[in-house]
Structure 1
Amino acid sequence: MNKYNIFLLVFISVFFTSCIPTKDLIYLQENKNKDNNKAVEAITDKPYRLQVNDLLNVTIKAMDPKLVEIFNSTIGSAVNNEQAIYFNGYVVDDHGNIRLPVLGEINVLGHTFEEVRIKVEKKLLEEYFNKEAGIFVNVRLGGFRYTVNGEVSSSGTKVLYQDRVNIMEAIANSGDIEITGNRKDVVVIRRFPQGNQTYHIDLTDSNAVNSPAYQLQPNDYIYVKPLKQKTWGTGRTGIESLSTIITLLSLATTTYLLLNR
């Protein structure tokens, strides 16, 4: 009888520790003790500052389009073609410069898109045009790039054509985190001019939206760790775990009976 109780206890313990609880799968869970009537806090996102190897799309328009034809590449006719953006865009070089037709090299390292727009527009008005020309400059990234790896349905480098991307959007665009992925400790590695910074974010906590890693920056690297259950190989759900345990017990019983014949 004692052996039976020990066996039952071990069976129950292994079964429950091998299953992945629902609370580990739900995103942005609210704290039960949190005051739901708390005033909404304003979120202030710092503007992105350009770094080496960023790909820019710079377009220049005027009242008379022929006046600015020389400044523009053919990227406008194939803006949705990633290959065209790569070959016709302007890459920030190792010195922090982009090289525009006629205007030459312009330093953009550490500047925001708005600052680069003002700098290009000012140079055009000072050296080539007057205000009556109606110069209009637009500066954007040639796609928001990030890399996701680990326990996701579709890993690799992704490109989204939008100005802002948060980590939830990035993961959704990668097919979501697998059941065996650790949502409580997602790693984001961010590149800065002085080096790399590593962030850890718990996506099951509603406070994740306040993390500096929630709003991604171009070229961020996201890594989703595996849960211990994947290493154990006992299964992702209760049924899978139960099937694995029964198989192991059957194997152990068969081996025991064969050895004691």
Structure 2
Amino acid sequence: MILKKYFIYGFLSLAIFSCTPRQEINYMKDIESIALDNSIKNSRSTLQPGDQLIITITAKDLDVVKPFNQTYSSSSTITQYSNPSSNSLPQQIPVSGPTYSVDTDYNIVFPQVGKVSVQGENVESFRVKLAGLISQYVKDPVVDAKLINFRVSVVGEVTRPGTYVVPDGTTTIWGALGLAGDLTPFGVRQNVLVIRTVDGVITQNRIDLTSAQFINSPYYYLKQNDVIYVQPNSNREKAARVDPNTGLYISVASVLASLVIGVLALVKN
């Protein structure tokens, strides 16, 4: 009986100490004490080589703007992912339209206008710039521009690691983690790494998701091709080092222990 009690206590201790403490998975515990004064400029990504834009021009007289709208195949689509509103999987959204790519010199070639530089521009400022150029030919043109290949990657201790194309070309670190199904219980919430490449320069920053301070960080709003890495906690690392046959060994040991206890009981009787 004493040996059996030791086995029970041992399994209970293992179960208790292997659990992640509840307070470690709370987010932004001091949210109420932090002013959400993040500048709007951090939410706008400047356009980069390789970006793809769907651009359409409209006006009161649609015939006048036809030369500014290149033809395209409606079957040519790019898949984006919607941010899930609940625990459901992100939905794929096909988008299509006249598509323009930013070349290595930060230019796009637009019908009737020619090369237009996008360097230092975000989607909104570029829309205003292009409208100004077209207004030389068309009265009160309306420019609709959307970034359709805005990608972020989420890897490490998340439910669905991968690369996601985000609608409208803007998202926060919360949006990206939502697409990836949130962190697993083994993810370190106090040390999430964001890797960013802008104009060929690679930077990185570590974020504490349990503090609201990071909302004021320039890494709160994600940029094109950002990579989020969630490192595993010590419990996951220990589990990775454990022999995959450990469970089998424990089962065999338990069976042997039960047999020993049974034999001892018979001997005593």
For Structure 1 versus Structure 2, the TM-score category normalised by the shorter chain is: 0.7 to 0.9
* Corresponding position: 1:202 with 2:192: no
Partners of 2:74 and 2:200 lie apart in 1 by 37
Q: Provide closer, same or farther for how the CA distance between residues 95 and 205 of structure 1 changes in structure 2, counting only shifts above 3 A.
A: same
Equivalent in the alignment of 1:117 = 127
Structure 1 partner of 2:40: 45
Question: Tell me, what secondary structure is at the counterpart of 1:178?
Answer: coil
Q: Distance in 2 between matches of 1:103 and 1:29?
A: 52
Q: How does 1:1-261 map to 2 (within 5 A)?
A: 17-30=17-30, 40-46=35-41, 47-73=44-70, 81-82=78-79, 88-126=98-136, 128-129=137-138, 131=139, 134-233=140-239, 247=250, 250=253
TM-aligned CA deviation for residue 39 of structure 1: 8.2
Per the alignment, residue 265 of structure 2 pairs with none
Where does the alignment leave 5 or more consecutive residues of structure 2 unmatched? 1-6, 81-93, 241-245, 261-269
Q: CA RMSD in A?
A: 3.7
TM-score scaled by structure 1?
Answer: 0.73
Aligned residue pairs, count: 233
Do the aligned partners of residues 247 and 30 (structure 1) sit closer, same or farther apart at CA in structure 2, a change above 3 Å counting?
farther
Q: Where do 5+ consecutive residues of structure 1 fail to align?
A: 1-6, 235-242
CA distance in 2, matches of 1:212, 1:249: 54
Alpha-carbon shift at residue 74 of structure 1 (Å): 5.3
Describe the superposition over 1:148-198 as per-residue Cα deviations: whole angstroms up to 9, x where unpaired. 111111121112213531111211111111112222211111111141110
TM-score normalised over the length of structure 2: 0.71
The offset of 1:87, in angstroms, is: 8.2
Matched residues in 2 for 1:148 and 1:39: separation? 26
Q: Tell me, what secondary structure is at the counterpart of 2:190?
A: strand
Q: Identity of aligned pairs, percent? A: 31
2:195 and 2:23 map into 1 onto residues whose CA distance is 26
CA 148–119 in structure 1, closer or farther in 2 if over 3 Å, else same: same
CA distance in structure 2 between the aligned counterparts of 1:231 and 1:39, rounded to whole angstroms: 33
